[in-house]
């Protein structure tokens, strides 16, 4: 059985500390996955940050660039 997943993360603009001196820009990030399941096997191909959006998770930590994950599971 085939399956797909799409997720959108939205973070509005915010101030990262109590001083309110620096305002962080908001961002949208899109993640997607497609997979196939046939008991007892499951395979998934996932892409995080599909559009390769540059963003900051905090004032000192950049967001993760696009990355791809291939997962193969065997359930017993």
Separation of alpha carbons 37 and 73, rounded Å: 9
C-alpha R_g of the chain: 17
Domain ranges of the chain: 2-74
Residue by residue, pLDDT tens for the chain (76 residues) are 999 999 999 999 999 888 888 899 999 999 999 999 999 999 999 999 999 999 998 888 999 999 999 999 999 9
> pTM for this one?
0.81
């Amino acid at each position: 059985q085939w399956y797909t997943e799409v997720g959108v993360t939205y973070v509005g603009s915010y101030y990262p500390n109590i001083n309110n001196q620096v305002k962080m820009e908001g961002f949208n990030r899109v993640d997607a996955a497609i997979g196939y399941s046939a008991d007892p096997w499951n395979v998934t191909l996932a892409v995080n940050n599909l559009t390769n959006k540059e963003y900051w998770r905090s004032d000192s930590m950049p967001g993760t660039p696009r990355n791809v994950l291939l997962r193969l599971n065997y359930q017993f």
